[in-house]
């Protein structure tokens, strides 16, 4: 089960992921990011504090947008990952390619720092 909640804040968009991302639902995550990009958002925060699991299908979605984020100067930060999920990003070294912060406060500090 995966529940995706998008909320448009004053100067950024927040994606909240609740549950598990795998090959059966990663397309929903993909659509959510596409939707946000189409709206022209320049700052995207992903709240992963209730994300319980992610497989390569979910990682692949994030990876497929890294070039677009860079080319279009979009700040993208994931925060709140539990140890298990953070470890999955770490196995392939994705934690070096994607900005991951401990909590929302630090994630916001990071995007306004940029």
Partner 1 sequence: MKHWQEFMMHELKLACEKNRLGELRSFLSDILKPKDLNEIVQNQLILAVEEVCANLIIHSHNCNPDDFIKLRVTDDAHKITFEIFDSGQAFNILEYEAPDLSKVIKEKRKGGIGILLVKKIMDKIEFESKNSQNVCRLVKQLKSK
* Residue numbers at the binding site for partner 1 (CB under 8 A): 1, 20, 22-24, 26, 30, 53, 55-57, 59-61, 63-68, 83-85, 87-88, 91-94, 97
Cβ distance to partner 1 smaller for residue 7 or 50: 50
Q: Whole-number minimum distance, CB 10 to partner 1, in Å?
A: 30
Cβ distance to partner 1 smaller for residue 7 or 31: 31
The secondary element (H helix, E strand) that includes residue 15 is strand 13-21
Q: Whole-number minimum distance, CB 98 to partner 1, in Å?
A: 10
Q: CB atoms < 10 A from the CB of 2, how many?
A: 19
How many Å apart are CA 89 and CA 94, to the nearest integer?
5
Q: Whole-number minimum distance, CB 92 to partner 1, in Å?
A: 6
- Joined together, the tokens standing for residue 71 give 């080319």
How many Å apart are CA 29 and CA 73, to the nearest integer?
21
Contact 17, 51 (CB under 8 A): yes
Cβ distance to partner 1 smaller for residue 102 or 105: 102
């Amino acid at each position: 089960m995966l529940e995706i909640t998008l909320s448009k804040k004053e100067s950024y968009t927040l994606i909240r992921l609740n549950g598990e991302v795998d090959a059966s639902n990663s397309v929903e995550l993909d659509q959510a990011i596409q939707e946000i990009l189409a709206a022209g958002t320049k700052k995207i925060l992903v709240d992963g504090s209730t994300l319980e699991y992610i497989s390569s299908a979910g990682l692949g979605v994030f990876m497929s947008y890294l070039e677009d984020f860079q080319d279009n100067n979009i700040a993208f930060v994931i925060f709140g990952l539990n140890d298990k999920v953070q470890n999955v990003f770490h196995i392939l070294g994705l934690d070096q390619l994607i900005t991951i912060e401990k909590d929302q406060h630090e994630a916001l500090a990071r995007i306004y720092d940029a």
